Amino acid sequence: MSVLYKRYCRLTIAEGKENTKAIDFSAFRVSFTISQSLKGEPRSANIRIYNVNSETVSRIRQEGQKVILEAGYESNHAIIFQGDLIQRYRTKAESGNDTCLIILASTADQAHSYAVVNASLPAGASPVDVHQAILSEYARYGVEKGYVPELAQTKLARGKVLFCPAKDAMTTFCRTHQLQYSYLDTGLACVPVKETFPGKPFLLNERTGLVGTPEMSIDGLKVTSLLRPEIRLDTTLEIENDSIFYDESYGSQKKEDNKKKTTQKQNDTFDVDGVYKVISLTHKGDTYGKAWYSEMNCVASNPSKTGSSATAKKEK
């Protein structure tokens, strides 16, 4: 187990779109919020750099300049964000005496915003063919193919025309095949709604960085840990169910009409084996402040039909 001691943070921003030279802001105070979810949205970064002089600020001026943030600990650190500059502006810091350079950046922003699918598929085309037609447009913007599960062997009964933004085509495709997708480091990845990405679950407890008590609600399991760069959106978490508290919404069924729907949502969030799928992830940090956390919202990896009556529950 790695030692979660001595914070590590390295922020570099390229000078110009050529990305041949970069400015290293590791010596500055840096705070950041890196967010991503399995809703088909690019990973976003809101980064604050304190007391940067005007000359350095002027070197960060072009949309599309590469932004790379590496964080963790001296013995365990990794890149938690790599994307393109969207906007930068300078403002006063919270204290009023310092200045603050705000960096807004995103992964695959160009592809997500501008990629358009224009393809015609013949009768007999498979889901793989449809998926490939969508991915070919993303590839034009440098987004590669990520993890994709085995797709159904069905065939189109008649020809199909795709002419729409690639993100809309991808959303429709995933809805049809019960998938979720997101922009990961490995590319544009898909995973079945009721399954997880391949790989061994990450055991999260007090020894590996768990902070506070995981809280189960009808919308999912909320978990906070010390900043762990190895926890990504495609990570599966293993959490002891005995350590979970359940809020009022999880057990509340005030209206009989909503009973069936509420029970199904409970079943989707509780896992009898304590294995949970991360559906949203936020890394928060401040090199001169207290914040250095990873916040996850999770659902059951293997939804349990008996989740709502599990004996391991703890009521607040």
User: Half-sphere exposure of residue 266, counting CA atoms within 13 Å on the CB side?
Assistant: 21
Between the CA of residue 308 and those of 103, 237, 249, 266, what are the distances in Å? 43, 20, 12, 6
Instruction: Please state, for a pLDDT cut of 90, what percent of the chain lies above it.
Output: 67
pLDDT band at 243 (very low <50, low <70, confident <90, very high): confident
pLDDT band at 261 (very low <50, low <70, confident <90, very high): very low
Q: Are 128 and 136 in contact (CB under 8 A)?
A: no
**Across 243-260, average pLDDT:** 59
Instruction: Tell me how far apart the alpha carbons of residues 45 and 42 are, in angstroms, rounded to a whole number.
Output: 10
**Across 263-276, average pLDDT:** 67
pLDDT band at 50 (very low <50, low <70, confident <90, very high): very high
Q: Are 51 and 300 in contact (CB under 8 A)?
A: no
**Across 169-181, average pLDDT:** 95
The full DSSP string for 54-105 is HHHHHT---TT-EEEEEEEETTEEEEEEEEEEEEEEEEE-TTSSSEEEEEEE
* Residue 214 pLDDT: 93
**Across 163-181, average pLDDT:** 95
Instruction: Tell me how far apart the alpha carbons of residues 263 and 272 are, in angstroms, rounded to a whole number.
Output: 15
* Residue 1 pLDDT: 56
For 200, the token pair is 């061994």
Provide the 10 A C-beta neighbour count for residue 313: 17
* Residue 64 pLDDT: 82
pLDDT band at 282 (very low <50, low <70, confident <90, very high): very high
Mean residue pLDDT across the chain: 87
